[in-house]
């Protein structure tokens, strides 16, 4: 037997859709991060610190890029030497076969 109270509770089941709750949470979280970022950048000292951090990061990325380019150039030279050596070896084998 079901009581009228139980029937009413069954009608109220379901609550909030988990997907809707997740999307809502993401939107609220993104807004909070945006507001916090704006609050941090509103202060001149904080803004200067962020700018310095970005400049330092750019410099480090540039250094890493130059370093990688040097390594690639060095490796390319080695590859060219190996290719030249292989060509010479195959030429010598061809001459010996004649």
Q: Where are the domains of the chain?
A: 17-97
- Could you tell me what percent of the chain has a pLDDT over 70? 76
pLDDT score recorded for residue 37 = 76
Q: What is the mean pLDDT of residues 19-42?
A: 78
Residue whose structure tokens are 């076969």: 97
Tokens of 79: 């590859």
pLDDT (mean) for 28-56: 79
């Amino acid at each position: 037997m079901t009581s009228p109270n139980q029937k009413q509770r069954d009608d109220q089941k379901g609550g909030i859709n988990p997907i809707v709750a997740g999307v809502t949470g993401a939107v609220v979280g993104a807004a909070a991060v945006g507001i916090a970022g704006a609050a941090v950048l509103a202060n001149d000292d904080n803004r200067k610190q962020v700018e310095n951090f970005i400049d330092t990061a750019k410099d480090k990325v540039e250094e890493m890029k130059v370093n990688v380019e040097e390594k690639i150039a060095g490796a390319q030279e080695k590859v060219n030497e190996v290719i030249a050596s292989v060509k010479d070896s195959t030429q010598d084998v061809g001459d010996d076969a004649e």
